[in-house]
Structures are given as structure tokens and as C-alpha cells.
Amino acid sequence: MNRPIRLLIVEDSEDDARLALRSLRRSGFEPSHRRVQDIGALLRALVEENWDAVISDFSLPGFSGLDALQAFRSTGTDIPFIFVSGTIGEETAVQAMKAGASDYVMKQNLARLAPAMERELAQAAVRAERRQAEVDLRQFEAQLRHAQKMESIGTLAGGIAHDFNNILGAVLGNATLLRQEIGPDHPGLVNVDEIQRAGLRARELVRQILAFSRKQAPELLVQPLAPIVTETHKLLRATLPTRVTLEAHLPQPSPSVLADATQIQQVLMNLCTNAWHALPDGTGRIGIGLDEVMLEFGSHDLTALGTLPPGRYAHLWVSDTGVGMDAATRERIFEPFFTTKPVGQGTGLGLSVVHGIIVSHGGGIRVDTQPGIGTTFDLYIPACDAPAVGEPEPAPPMPAAHGRGEHVIYIDDDETMMLVASRLLQRAGYQVSAFTDARAALDAVRNAPLRFDLVVTDFNMPDCSGLEVASELAFLRPDLPVIISSGHLTEDLRLRAASIGVRSLLEKENSFDQLCPTVARVLALR
């Protein structure tokens, strides 16, 4: 099979051009060509079409082959430029090669044209691959720098969330103390309740920050999707510009799924942020919807989703009136690091994260998009029956005292948390030895092991974690109960704590409401 080649010929003689083309055809090329006879036509041809090579006579009316070569090189085009001449001498040929010509062939020896063309095309292909590799490397380096920057931001966010947890704990703890002091009939109780509600909302923000920084493991629970969508809608409405119309379409009752609420929220945030960026001039409409569907064999959605089994699914969708996508872009949107945004404005990870989360939940994604019209992402997650139990009732205000003078050690590297917890425990009737240094607390037990009845320790401390404290206490005094308080209770932490005999775990944001009841319960089970 002949090899196609697009050839630009700079030649004033049509017969000579025909002879060069015949020589190439005999050697297995199938040239399509355009012949030009002046510098202006050469430059126009280079702009108007893509060529594989240029062959040029050296002696032309009104200009020389070197003039043609100089004009060619001024365009920055990197394809072979071969002189085919009957008059070029050896000295001139050397000059032409130094000026940037790829090769020269005498018209009396056109049999050499095809091998020269073959060699120069191969070298041009190597150069093109090298240039593309360099472009890909620069893009990857830029993406890697951006990913490293995002990782640094995530690490910073995780540290901020930990410190904020302590501040939040102090706010909620003092609200608990204040509620006890003023009593249930005090008119100021409504303000205390507002403080606590604000604190609980802040707790949700902390969880989102921890999820962003990947400091919190996924927590799969059977739960309705509507509250997650509602909360995300509130966050987006506070984030997106007012010129963006944000709609939510939620059914009653809401379908339930086995899902991690934070990850589903991340999916919606990513999709809506992308939708916003796709709106022309940042103005348009974004819709979020939810319903329950039955996917069956032969249905359009199930066919499009490929590997999903038939059954009940929660159907989430995000649509926009943005610029849409062409077919080539649509095929690549879930590839890691693929982005249509300028360098430095996107990692190309947002949609790959969306895809990974939905697939990890046993679901699938269908994308409907048209250039100039908009895009809709349809997300399908297996539906399940709602949990048999309702939402837990808020814990009632704790009684004034639970203890009978038992001696409790409380350990937290944050002094504010330590002071608030100490006051709560003392008010509940316990003796308290409080420490911000875990090693000092262990020394206290080592020096008087029978003096203490229970230990409450923070999990995340700089020099000695709560698990290390519990492990050391298991050797010093195996019957001494230990409670660990943590800002993010993961399944791994629960398993590790249980393996070393930790009696109970406290979620740090709720620890002051639950601290004294938990201490009383653990002491009662000794």
C-alpha cells in the first residue's frame, strides 16, 4: 500500500515537479501536492494547510532557494525541506545545509529523493514525539505542583480542623456549664441553645474540612439522601454568585442509600462547581435533583450505565445551562489530570474523584451533554430500605452530679479543653487530676496506681497519642478504665482501641454533653 504524503513544491517548472512526483510514486509514496512559484504563495500555503514536507528548486525567477528556505524557517514549521536542483554545487549545498535545509538532491539523480524523504520524515516524527513528550512533561509537572499545593492545603486544613475542634469543644462545654448554672426556666436559656446549635453547625464544617484533608475515614451509613442534598444546597447558595440560579428538586419521602454523607456532599460540590465554571460569563442555572428509579434489563439508563445490575436506585442529578462538551472532551472527563481549564486553574481531579466515589458506593454515572446547550450528570446509587430506628433524640441536660467522689484523670494537650472538662467533672461530683502532658499523667499513675478510678484522654496529642496512653496503662494497671476522646472517630480507631481494652470512645465535639454520663456508665461497669 502506497504511503500518503502531503507535499508543498516550490518550483517554476511544472515538468520538473511532475518528474519529482513520479519518482516518489515509484518508491511507494502517494503524494498529494501544491505547487507555488513565489515567496508570498509559499507563506500562504504554509498557513492554509498542513504539509509533511517541502521540496524546492534552488534557482527560481526573482528569488533563490535560500530565500525560500529563509521564508520557510521564519514560520517555525518543523517539517523536512529538501532542495531538488539541477544547478546547485557542492559549496552552495553545504551553505544550504548550514542554513537549515534537510537535504539536497540533484535533478539528474531523482532516485535519491525517496530515500532522503523517508529518512527526513522519520527524523521529523522523532522530533515531533520528543516535542510532545516535553509538552506532556511540562503539563504533568504543572499538575504535580498543583496537586502538591492542594496536598499542602489539605494538611494545613487538617491541622486547622484539629485546633478548631478544641475551640469548638470549649464553646460547647461552656454552653453546657452555663445551661446547668441558669436552670431550665431562665430566659437566657434560649440564647444558650442558639450557641449550642451554632456549635453543632460548626461541627459539620469541621467534618467537611477533615474530609477534604483526608483525615477522616469514610463512614458508610444507611441514611436518606434528601437531608444531604438540602445541606449541600445551603452551602452552595452561600458560595455561588447571586447571578447563578440554584434549584433543588427533592422528593418526599427521600430514597435511602448506604453512603458516606461527606463523600456524597463532595460529589455534589464538585459537580456544581464545575457547572458554575461552565456557565457563560458565570451566569445561568444549575439544578440539583433526587428521585428513586427502577432500572430494568433493556432500559435506556441501565444500558448506558453498562455493568450496574437491575434494581432500585437513588437517582441524583446535576444539570447546568453551560457551554456543554464535545464528544472528544466527553470521552476523557473522568481521566485523572484531564482538564480543559488553563494551567494553574484546575488539577483535573474533580470528576475523577466524583467517579471514584460513586463507583465505590456501587453506583454509576451517565453524562448527557451538548455544546452550547448544557450538561447533565445522572448519578445512580443502589437504594435500600430506610433504617428502622428514627433519628436519635437530643441528650437531655445532665443532672447536677453523677459521681461519688471517684478520682478521674483527664488528659488533653489543649489547656482550655482541660479546664472546661475539669470543671464539668468536678461539678458532677468527681475528684479530678487534669494534665496537658500525657507523660506526666502516666507518671502520676505509676507513682500511685491505686489512687485513680478512671482515665479520660484525648486521642490526638503531639508526644503521646491516646492509644499509647491506653497501652501504657494496660501494663501499669490493667483494671483501670480508659475513655478516649477524638475529633474524628474512625473504624480503625474503634478496632485498635477495643484491642487494648479501651472501655469507651467519645466524639470530641459532643464530649462535654456526654462526658459525665459516659464516665458514670463506665465506672458503674467496673
Q: Of 494, 491, 483, 490, which is closest to residue 457 (Cα–Cα)?
A: 483
Q: How confident is the model at residue 344 (pLDDT cuts 50, 70, 90)?
A: very low
Number of DSSP helices (H) and strands (E) in the chain, helices first: 16, 19
> Within its chain, how far is the Cα of 421 from the centroid?
38
pTM recorded for the entire structure: 0.46
* 203: pLDDT strictly greater than 80: no
Region(s) of the chain under CATH 3.30.565.10:
221-384
**Angstrom distance (rounded) from CA 34 to CA 12:** 12
Written as nine digits, the cell of 414 is 489543649
| Grid coordinates given for 447 | 507513682
User: For position 397, what pLDDT does the model report?
Assistant: 47
Least reliable range by pLDDT among 287-291, 339-343, 497-501: 339-343
Question: Higher model confidence: residue 523 or residue 507?
Answer: 523
Element (H, E) at 357: helix 350-360
pLDDT in tens, 11-49: 999 999 999 999 999 999 999 999 999 999 999 999 999
- pLDDT at residue 237, rounded to an integer: 82
Statement: residue 243 has pLDDT above 70: yes
- Output the pLDDT for position 452: 94
Assess if CATH 3.40.50.720 describes domain 3-127: no
The CB-side HSE value for 389 (13 A sphere, CA atoms) comes to 4
Q: Does residue 181 have a pLDDT over 60?
A: yes
Higher pLDDT, residue 347 or 365: 365
Taking each helix axis from N to C terminus, what angle separates 113-182 and 415-427, rounded to the nearest 10 degrees?
30
Mutual angle of helices 39-48 and 65-74, in 10-degree steps: 30
211 has pLDDT over 60: no
279-320: pLDDT as tens digits? 988 889 999 999 999 888 766 666 566 678 888 999 999 999
Coil, helix or strand at residue 168: helix
The more confidently predicted of residues 507 and 9 is 9
Instruction: Compute the Cα dihedral for 447, 450, 451, 455 and give only its sign.
Output: positive
- The pLDDT value given to residue 152: 66
pLDDT above 70 covers a percentage of the chain that reads 83
Higher pLDDT, 289 or 191: 289
Q: What distance in Å separates the CA atoms of residue 283 and residue 374, rounded to the nearest whole number?
A: 13
CATH 3.40.50.2300 in the chain, residue ranges: 3-127, 407-524
Sequential DSSP letters for 28-88? TEEEEEEEE-SHHHHHHHHHHS--SEEEE-SEETTEEHHHHHHHHHHTT--S-EEEEESS-
Torsion of CA 266, 271, 277, 280, to 10 degrees: -150
Average predicted confidence (pLDDT) for the chain: 82
Using CA atoms, how far apart are residues 419 and 410, in angstroms rounded to an integer?
Answer: 9
Q: Which fold has domain 407-524?
A: Rossmann fold (3.40.50)
Mean pLDDT of 162-185: 76
Q: Where are the alpha helices (DSSP H) in 183-241?
A: 189-212, 226-239
pLDDT score of 204 more than 70: no
Residue 80's pLDDT is what?
A: 94
Across 394-410, average pLDDT: 67
Mean of the pLDDT values across residues 262-281?
87
Between CA 213 and CA 229 the distance in angstroms is 21
pLDDT at 106 over 60: yes
Question: pLDDT value at position 444?
Answer: 94
Confidence tier at 376 by pLDDT (50, 70, 90): very high
**Which backbone phi and psi does 463 adopt, to 5 degrees?**
-100, -20
- Cell numbers placing 122: 522519520
Neighbours of 91 (CB within 10 A): 8
Asked if residue 341 has pLDDT above 70, the reply is no
- Residue 2's CB is within 10 A of a number of other CB atoms, namely 11
Say which CATH topology domain 221-384 has: Heat Shock Protein 90 (3.30.565)
Nearest to 104 by CA among 122, 89, 118, 124: 89
pLDDT at 162: 65
The dihedral through the CA atoms of 296, 298, 304, 307 has a sign that is: positive
